[in-house]
Amino acid sequence: MDRGSFHRDFPGTTVLLLTNAAFYLLEMIYHWKGGGIGFLQSAVEIPADVVVSLGANSLRHLERGEVWRLISYAFLHGMIVHVLLNGWMVYVLGRACEPLLGTARFIVVYIASAIAAGLASAAYAGYRGEPWSPSVGASGALFGLFGLLLAFSIRHRERGLRNSLLESIIYTVIFTVFIPRVDHAAHAGGLVAGAVFGFFTPRPVTSRNARRWRIPFQVTAAATLVALAIAIWRRARAPLGG
């Protein structure tokens, strides 16, 4: 790959990375303005009220009809380590999945996995009796990409890829067990949703297959833009500290 051509070779991955970075910057700005702290200090950890006002997901919000949060939450993160780790995984998995799927299907799978992860998270929070518990982060969508690659490797008998993915998933689960506030329900929901797509993913990407995903991609892109626009609009109308 020629130097400087990443955005041309992986346009969907580039957009996801930039959107995650832009929303974390927005979180920092609202934390900085409302928290009375230095701008760089605001990057370390984002308060719950800021992420909720910008579109964090929760069962209670969904029950109130704020379904746009099933998309917006996936572009929000609670701390600098969170966004950096997820950004790295978007970069790694995007390079593997976007050429395999084509950009249109890649974005559809990513957002669909985020929605499934958000629903699973909200359902489990309700089961625990914590309907207001907020959920943020791209990891549900990323587990969707893990699930897609795993199902693809099983369907097409890619033993090396399958074993590598199983190891990665196991290590990730073990690692996150020791981190507080990790949303394992979202990870499971995203993994299952991605696996469904993976079982129906053919080996070669053809122009005919790509055309079939044009309309789903347009619907997904429009829904994502609307969800993020609502999140920004509602936050802009809220008090600085709220």
Which residues belong to the active site?
139, 187
CA angle 214/103/109 to nearest 5° reads 80
Distance CA 123, CA 120 (A): 5
Residue 6 CB-density burial (10 A; 0-12 exposed, 13-18 middle, 19+ buried): middle
User: Scanning the structure block, which residue is given the tokens 């067990």?
Assistant: 177
Q: What is the dihedral of CA 151, 156, 161, 162, to 10 degrees?
A: 50
Buried b / exposed e along 106-143 (16+ C-beta atoms within 10 A): bbbbbbbbbbbbbbbbbebbbeeeeeebbbbbbbbbbb
How many helices (DSSP H) and strands (DSSP E) are in the chain? 12, 0
Alpha-carbon gap, residue 73 to 118, rounded angstroms: 8
Question: What gap in Å lies between CA 193 and CA 176, rounded to an integer?
Answer: 20
- Alpha helices, DSSP H only, in 200-237? 207-212, 214-237
How buried is 215 (Cβ within 10 angstroms: 0-12 exposed, 13-18 middle, 19+ buried)? exposed
Neighbours of 173 (CB within 10 A): 15
